[in-house]
A and B are shown apart, each in its own frame.
Chain A
Amino acid sequence: MEELLGGLTPLLASMVRNATPLVFAALGGMFSERSGVVNIGLEGLMLISAFAGVAGAFYSGSAWVGLLCALGAGLAFALIHALMSITFEADQIISGTAINLLALGGTGFLMELVFDQSGTSPRVQGFEPVAIPLLSEIPVVGPAFFDQSLLVYLMYAMVPLTYLLVFRTPFGLRLRGTGEAPEAVDTAGVSVTRMRYYGVALSGLLAALGGVYLSMGILSAFTEGMTNGRGFIALAALIFGRWNPIGAAGAALLFGLAQAFIFQAPQEVVPLEFLQMIPYVLTIVVLAGFGGRAVAPAAIGKPYRKE
Chain B
Amino acid sequence: MSAGLRVVLGRATGALVFPLVAISLALVVGAVIVLTTGNNPLAAYRALIVGAVGSPAAIGRTLLNATPLIFTGLAVAVAFRTGLFNIGGEGQLYIGAITAAILGVSLGFLGPLAIPVVLLACFLTGFLWGAIPGLLKARFGAHEVITTIMLNFVAINLATYLALKPFRTEGLVPGTDFIDPAARLPTLGLGRANYGLLIALLAAVAVYLLLWRTTLGFRLRAVGLSPGAANYAGMSIGASTVLALAIGGAMAGLGGGVEVMGVYGKMSIPFVSNLGFNGIGVALLGRNHPAGVVLGALLFGGLASGAQELQFETDVPLDLADVLLAIILLLVTATRLVELIFGKRARELASGTRLDEGLAS
Residues of A within 8 A of B (CB): 38, 40, 80, 84, 87-95, 97-102, 104-106, 108-109, 111-113, 229, 232, 235-236, 239, 271, 273-274, 276-277, 280-281, 283-284, 287-289, 291-293, 296, 301-303
Contacts and interface: CB of A to CB of B under 8 A. Distances in A.
Interface string B19-37: 0000000000000010001
A94 B142 contact: no
B161 to A, nearest CB: 4
Interface stretch (B5-13, B48-56, B152-160): B152-160
Interface string B157-192: 110110011000000000000000000000000000
A288 B147 CA distance: 9
Contacts of A301: 356, 359-360
B323 A236 contact: no
Contact of A287 (B142, B329, B355): B142
Given A101-B325, A102-B323, A88 B146 contact: no
A188 B165 CA distance: 60
B149 A88 contact: no
Given A98-B329, A235-B146, A88 B317 contact: no
Given A94-B280, A101-B329, A291-B142, A284 B354 contact: no
A113 B317 contact: yes
Contacts of A88: 334-337
B138 to A, nearest CB: 11
Contact of B147 (A38, A105, A284, A291): A284
B145 interface: yes
A108 B37 CA distance: 14
Interface residues on B, range: 35 or more
B149 to A, nearest CB: 5
Nearest to A108: B319
Contact of B151 (A274, A280, A289): A280
The 5 closest A-B pairs by CB, nearest first: A105-B322, A292-B141, A102-B326, A273-B161, A108-B319
B165 A271 contact: yes
A302 to B, nearest CB: 5
B136 interface: yes
A264 B165 CA distance: 20
A273 B157 contact: yes
Contacts of B46: none
Residue of B161, B329, B331, B335 contacting most chain A CB atoms (<10 Å): B329
A173 B143 CA distance: 26
Nearest to A303: B356
Nearest to A296: B143
B355 A93 contact: yes
Contacts of B318: 108
Most chain A beta-carbon neighbours within 10 Å: one of B150, B284, B331, B336: B150
Contacts of A288: 136, 139-140, 142, 147
A195 B336 CA distance: 19
Contact of B150 (A91, A271, A283): A283
Interface SS of B by simple majority? helix
24 contacts: A38-B145, A89-B336, A90-B330, A94-B280, A98-B329, A105-B321, A105-B325, A105-B326, A106-B319, A106-B322, A108-B318, A109-B322, A229-B153, A232-B153, A235-B146, A283-B146, A287-B140, A288-B136, A288-B139, A288-B142, A289-B140, A291-B140, A302-B356, A303-B356
A277 B154 CA distance: 5
Contacts of B161: 271, 273-274
B355 A94 contact: yes
Contact of B333 (A94, A276, A277): A94
A20 B105 CA distance: 44
Nearest to B318: A108
Contact of A97 (B87, B139, B327): B87
B322 A280 contact: no
Contacts of A84: 330-331, 334
Interface in B321-361: 321-323, 325-327, 329-337, 353-356, 359-360
B75 to A, nearest CB: 14
B277 interface: yes
Contacts of A303: 335, 356
Nearest to B320: A109
A27 B40 CA distance: 43
Given A113-B37, A280-B153, A281-B154, A97 B329 contact: yes
A236 B142 CA distance: 12
A229 B335 CA distance: 29
Contacts of A276: 153, 157
Given A88-B337, A93-B87, A301-B360, A277 B158 contact: yes
B149 A232 contact: yes
Contacts of B323: 102, 105-106, 109
A282 to B, nearest CB: 9
A280 B317 contact: no
Contacts of B326: 98-99, 101-102, 105-106
A90 B335 contact: yes
A37 B145 CA distance: 14
A91 B337 CA distance: 12
A93 B317 contact: no
A277 B140 contact: no
Contacts of B165: 271, 273
B331 A90 contact: yes
Nearest to A273: B161
